[in-house]
């Protein structure tokens, strides 16, 4: 296969080749595209031959450990769906399809003692041309790209305080709520405030997002309050509009959390004091309404008691 265009590999493509070639001929990857698995690259490593002449096969990604998966994703540039078209077009990889090359595919997987293949997986192997390109050019391109990303990351790294405007519903103590008559709604208005949720370290930014890591909560969130952090490791991010303080310091973050906690505490205290003061009136209201209900029932019952076909109804 001849090269038709100048190959400009992406960082995930370089990182994928780096991972595969790191262990000689032991590693390969598959690409799966289906409704169930999505569009995903999976990584495999073959072990030594056993007594039966078969080699044990390990799936490195996605594996059994979330920590290892996150580390591998980070190494691959945060992508688990890596385009293979250019690598194939250059002749650096070849693929074996279970659908189009059934016999060749079965022969390849027969060397392994275990099999857990998805029907949509295509096996990709690095060719001799790909290995030569890696030694001549690819390895240096990857090292340069890693250094550039590390420099950009170091320049971007900073602490931010993240959060959003959230509704605060004042809470009453269990004892006070137990003394409020049943069926009497409480006149407690909710409040809205810009509330810090967490601190985070910015690793990369775009016009609309800050990609973050090391997210540390500043307070607990209610069930109804959604986190401002989206995505999943190592691609967690927040919208710029949810960054309360950029280039923050630990002291600013601590003080914002204290102000928020003090505000919530004061709102709860004011609500408690107000309901405590209203409690006698609320209890009197409930008692008088209950008395009036009983009087009405008695009057209706007395009125209908002389009607032979009538049944007392509320």
Q: State the pLDDT at residue 35.
A: 44
Phi, psi of 207 (to 5 degrees): -65, -25
Q: State the pLDDT at residue 250.
A: 95
Question: Can you tell me which residue has the tokens 């320049």?
Answer: 155
**For residue 6, is pLDDT > 90?**
no
Dump pLDDT digits (tens) for 106-154.
888 888 876 667 666 789 999 999 999 999 999 999 999 999 999 988 8
* Strand pairing category for 209-217 and 55-61: unpaired
| Mean pLDDT, residues 23-39 | 75
Q: State the pLDDT at residue 286.
A: 86
- 304 within 8 A of 314, measured Cβ to Cβ: no
Buried b (16+ CB within 10 A) or exposed e, 50-85: eeeeeeebeeebbeeeeeebbebbebbbbbbebbbe
| Mean pLDDT, residues 175-185 | 89
Q: State the pLDDT at residue 309.
A: 62
Token digits for 162?
């993240």
Dump pLDDT digits (tens) for 229-243.
999 888 999 999 999
Q: State the pLDDT at residue 314.
A: 57
Q: State the pLDDT at residue 163.
A: 96
Domain boundaries, the chain: 11-148, 157-279
**For residue 94, is pLDDT > 70?**
yes
Q: State the pLDDT at residue 3.
A: 47
Token digits for 74?
């980070």
- 211 within 8 A of 205, measured Cβ to Cβ: yes
Would you call 128 helix, strand, or coil by DSSP? helix
| Mean pLDDT, residues 245-263 | 96
Q: State the pLDDT at residue 2.
A: 46
Q: State the pLDDT at residue 134.
A: 96
Name the pLDDT band for 50 (thresholds 50, 70, 90).
confident
**Mean pLDDT across the chain, nearest whole number?**
88
Helix (H) or strand (E) holding 102: helix 102-109
Give percent of the chain above pLDDT 70: 91
| Mean pLDDT, residues 279-307 | 87
Is the peptide bond prior to 261 cis by the omega test (within 30 degrees of 0)? no
Name the pLDDT band for 201 (thresholds 50, 70, 90).
very high
Indicate the range of 211-220, 253-262, 279-288 predicted with least confidence: 279-288
Indicate the range of 12-21, 36-45, 101-110 predicted with least confidence: 36-45
Name the pLDDT band for 66 (thresholds 50, 70, 90).
confident
Its sign, for the CA torsion 229, 230, 232, 235, is: negative
Q: State the pLDDT at residue 5.
A: 57
């Amino acid at each position: 296969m001849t090269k038709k265009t100048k190959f400009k590999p992406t960082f995930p493509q370089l990182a994928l080749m780096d991972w595969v070639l790191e262990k000689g001929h032991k590693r390969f990857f598959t690409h799966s595209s289906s409704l169930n698995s999505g569009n995903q690259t999976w990584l495999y490593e073959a072990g030594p031959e056993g007594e039966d002449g078969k080699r044990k096969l390990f799936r490195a990604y996605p594996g059994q450990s979330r920590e290892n998966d996150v580390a591998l994703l980070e190494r691959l540039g945060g992508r688990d769906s890596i385009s293979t078209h250019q690598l194939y077009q250059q002749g650096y990889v070849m693929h074996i399809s279970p659908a189009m090359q059934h016999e060749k595919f079965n022969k390849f997987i027969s060397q392994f003692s275990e099999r857990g293949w998805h029907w949509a997986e295509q096996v990709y192997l690095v060719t001799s041309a790909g290995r030569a390109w890696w030694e001549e050019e690819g390895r240096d391109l990857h090292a340069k790209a890693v250094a550039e990303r590390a420099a950009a990351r170091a320049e971007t790294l900073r602490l931010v305080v993240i959060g959003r405007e959230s509704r605060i519903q004042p809470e009453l103590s269990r004892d006070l709520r137990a003394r409020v008559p049943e069926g009497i709604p409480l006149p407690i208005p909710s409040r809205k405030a810009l509330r810090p949720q967490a601190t985070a370290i910015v690793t990369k930014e775009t016009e609309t997002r800050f990609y973050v890591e090391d997210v540390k909560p500043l307070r607990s969130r209610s069930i109804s309050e959604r986190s401002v952090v989206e995505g999943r490791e190592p691609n967690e991010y927040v919208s710029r509009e949810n960054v309360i303080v950029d280039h923050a310091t630990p002291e600013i973050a601590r003080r914002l959390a204290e102000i928020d906690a003090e505000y919530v505490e004061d709102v709860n205290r004011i609500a408690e004091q107000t309901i405590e003061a209203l409690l006698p009136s609320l209890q009197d209201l409930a008692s008088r309404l209950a008395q009036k209900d009983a009087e009405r029932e008695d009057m209706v019952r007395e009125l209908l008691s002389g009607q032979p076909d009538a049944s007392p109804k509320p």
